[in-house]
Amino acid sequence: MIKAVYPGSFDPVTLGHLDIIRRAAKVVDELIIGVLVNSAKTSFFTLEERVEMIEQVTKDLPNVRVKKFEGMTVNFARENEAHLIIRGLRAVTDFEYEMQIAQTNHMIAPDIDTMFFTTSLEYAFLSSTIVKEVAYYGEDITKFVMPEVIDAFNKKHEVLGLKKLEKLG
Ligand code: ADP
């Protein structure tokens, strides 16, 4: 039984993340998505909102679960009896940072390995930050996120007095 954790901020979950989730869920028995309670970064969506969006967009994947976590990923993995950490690699810029984290994690917890999935080309330059930026200006984000995420943006935008986003095909 192979269990893996896929940690991140997911602020919000994008089609790039979902691509990694779908591919990882095919090769492991159970995938636990860990949504980070990040004290250093301020997030646009609350922890509950980020968790809910991932639950909605992964509801067709029976071996995927979503959990919140705080602290080190290796501890989150251990608590869930997972020996594998999944990460996604986009353009070259991710490489150095991801290598550093993976090496450090492996030093701390030699029984836990990191497995990288290279992003599908169409999502290579997609990030949650870019999605938030485009959404802020009221532009179409249907190529970047699932419709449930657009709904979540619109709830926030209503409160903040920002433009309503269309769900174009
Ligand atoms: P973090 O704050 O930990 O970087 P993110 O939510 O930004 O969290 O990303 C979580 C993981 O998903 C990271 O491994 C990141 O490299 C990966 N990822 C983010 N966007 C994409 C994408 N478009 N394609 C593939 N992987 C991605």
**Residue-wise pLDDT tens digits, 22-66:** 999 999 999 999 999 976 668 999 999 999 999 999 999 999 999
In this structure, is the dihedral angle defined by the CA atoms of residues 152, 153, 156 and 158, taken in order, positive or negative? negative
**Average pLDDT for 93-105:** 92
In the chain, what percentage of residues exceed pLDDT 70? 97
How many whole angstroms separate alpha carbon 61 and alpha carbon 31? Answer: 10
- Residue 168 binned pLDDT confidence (cut-offs 50, 70, 90): low
**Average pLDDT for 107-117:** 97
**Average pLDDT for 66-82:** 97
**Catalytic residue flag (residue 67):** no
Q: Which atom of ligand 1 is nearest to the CA of 126?
A: 23
Q: Which residues of 35-59 are buried (b: 16+ CB within 10 A; e: fewer)?
A: bbeeeeeebbbebebbbbbbebbbe
Average pLDDT, the chain: 94
Contacts of 117 (CB under 8 A, 6+ apart): 20, 23, 24, 86, 87, 88, 89
Of the listed 90, 106, 132, 157, which one is catalytic?
90
**Average pLDDT for 67-93:** 94
Of the listed 17, 43, 50, 87, which one is catalytic?
17
**Catalytic residue flag (residue 127):** no
Pocket of ligand 1 (CB under 6 A): 8-10, 14, 16-17, 20, 87-88, 90, 94, 119, 123, 126-128
CA-nearest residue for atom 1, ligand 1, is: 8
Mean pLDDT is lowest, of 25-29, 58-62, 115-119, 160-164, for 160-164
**Average pLDDT for 110-115:** 97
Give the SS3 label for residue 35: strand
**Average pLDDT for 109-125:** 94
pLDDT of residue 39: 67
pLDDT of residue 51: 98
Phi, psi of 32 (to 5 degrees): -110, 115
Give the SS3 label for residue 75: helix
**Average pLDDT for 86-100:** 90
pTM: 0.94
